[in-house]
Amino acid sequence: MSEPAVSFTNFHSAQASLAGAVVGPAAVLNGQAPTKNKTVATLITGGNIDRTQGAALTGDME
């Protein structure tokens, strides 16, 4: 569930995040959080992983 969220946050925020750091965005992206007609905020943490290593883990290209 979290791999697409990791890829999404790494691409759109330019922040290298690990799977555990994107639980909120993963829930939103997978429709598991009630977001219809709501303003939603999630907290993304990370930045402590090398971008090349992160890309290798998710299959994303640098």
The predicted model gives 38-56 an average pLDDT of 76
Neighbours of 24 (CB within 10 A): 16
Q: Report pLDDT for 7.
A: 74
* pLDDT tens for each residue of 2-33: 567 777 776 777 666 677 777 888 888 888 88
Q: Report pLDDT for 39.
A: 92
Q: Report pLDDT for 61.
A: 53
The backbone region for 33, taken as left when phi is positive above 0, alpha when psi lies in -120 to 50, beta otherwise, is beta
With 80 as the cut, is the pLDDT of residue 34 above it?
yes
Coil, helix or strand at residue 28: helix
